Amino acid sequence: MESREEKEKLLRQRGLTIWFTGLSGSGKSTVAIALERELSSRGFLSRILDGDNIRTGINSDLGFSEQDRRENIRRIAEVCKLFTDTGIITVAAFISPSEQLRNMAREIVGAERFLEVYLSTPLEECERRDVKGLYAKARAGKIPEFTGISAPFDVPQAPDLELDTTGLGVDRCVRKVMECIVPKISLRGSDEYK
């Protein structure tokens, strides 16, 4: 079996998990999709994991109880670890509302291969953007345990990068993430992100 280093050499990149956390509507998926495009345009192999492709597949058997949310993040982190150990840049976009859950994910993946990006977009802005009407339903009591309304969100204590998408456009967010990750993922010697 090939080692992680051999796989990374083959791909000419180092595996890394970029873990986006923040409230619903903060821009996690939007920035993740744009980041994946930028990585691809520079020849990096990456994979996005988000609620759409995880909750309808590997975690379709889970609900939203505290125990199920923990298991959801645990499984996601294990998948991230598999991809990262194969040399793939994994972009995970999940609310992951507690410091405990994010720390568990970091521990599973490995701290040296994990980058936490907190989208600190304020609740008011997230509610304003809410095209699905989830916040309105939560405020009306139709969605119990909705993060930011009837369930808590622990603000990350020491994220590797913090982005407020209220004032930062998608392109600037991607640029900031790329500046942070290229030194960690590149095995190409002369790659600099400008």
Q: Is 3 labeled as catalytic in the residue annotation?
A: no
From the list 24, 96, 120, 190, the catalytic residue is 96
Q: E strands along 63-151, which residues? A: 89-93, 114-119
CA-wise closest residue to 118 among 9, 8, 28, 4: 28
Q: Give the separation between CA 178 and CA 183, rounded to whole angstroms.
A: 9
β-bridge partners, 50: 93
- Residue 2 CB contacts under 8 Å (≥ 6 apart), including other chains: 10
Q: Give the separation between CA 147 and CA 164, rounded to whole angstroms.
A: 18
Q: Would you say 25 and 130 are in contact if contact means Cβ atoms under 8 Å apart?
A: yes
Active site residue ranges? 96
